[in-house]
Amino acid sequence: MQFKSGVITLIDKLEYNDEYAAEVTRHGKYDEHLEAQTPDITLVTCSDSRVLEKCLDDEIGKIFSIKNIGNRVMPNLGSIEYGTGFLKTPLLIILGHTGCGAIHASMSDISNEHTHVTKSLESIRPTAANIQKLIIRKGGIAGYMKEHLPNPDSHISEQDYLETLVTEANVDRQVDILLDDEPIRKLVYDGKLMIIGAIYDFKDIYSPRRGSIFIINVNGETDVNKLKVVDFLSDERLITDRMKRLLQY
């Protein structure tokens, strides 16, 4: 049978959709969203199937979601401007994640990858090179790991740790790109939009609580100690307790 796996998978997903549609209709979950959407988050995250929007909210209409490999801004800047400018979400989150295949690939030989995959990863490669040079200047990865490991019970390898550093740097880079965009920068300057850089951790690097989100960047500031005393954040214990990062520039 041609396309056997595809047909079996489609049947499975349509059966799931039958149950989903029945539940949504029964509980009227679309009733207040029929004419317009009013999300409160514009989310840029990785296409990795392990990173789910429901880690932030599973209600319909709450998250304006944009996905691509490596949670990159430039391929989707128009969509981001739509979410923050037209839909007026007060929060824009760039969400990287531990165990990111795009980061791993960007640090590997990608000459045999498909053309468009290679093009997508090329923008991350300079960031990876810069972090490798930074760690060299700081004395090497082994010593750096000993000083900067939020979860002491983590059994992360040096390579996985390095890739997590690059993941953080990539998130920082995406925030910088956003702040170079005039419409978005003006929203931040006027206090109408907050940009958060964050990491979704399911590999126990930041915490043993898999699926937790940790804040590493707020409006371009990456120094966690400074962020914890910012006026609009310092009294919010839930936020400050989630501020953790490995990479120190």
To the nearest 5 percent, what fractions of the chain are helix, strand and coil? 45, 15, 40
Q: Please enumerate, by residue number, every residue annotated as part of a binding site for Zn(2+).
A: 46, 97, 100
Q: Please enumerate, by residue number, every residue annotated as part of a binding site.
A: 46, 97, 100
Strand segments, DSSP code E, in 30-153 are 41-46, 63-68, 91-97
Q: Label each residue of 97-115 as H, E or C.
A: ECCCHHHHHHCCCCCCCCH
Q: What distance in Å separates the CA atoms of residue 148 and residue 113, rounded to the nearest whole number?
A: 33
Nearest of 46, 79, 41 to residue 58 by alpha carbon:
41
Give the pair of three-digit tokens for residue 30: 């679309």
φ and ψ at residue 173, rounded to 5 degrees: -65, -40
Q: What distance in Å separates the CA atoms of residue 83 and residue 42, rounded to the nearest whole number?
A: 6
Q: Which helix (H) or strand (E) holds 195?
A: strand 194-201
Give the pair of three-digit tokens for residue 70: 């490596």
Q: Order of strands, edge to edge, in the sheet holding 91-97?
A: 63-68, 41-46, 91-97, 194-201, 212-218
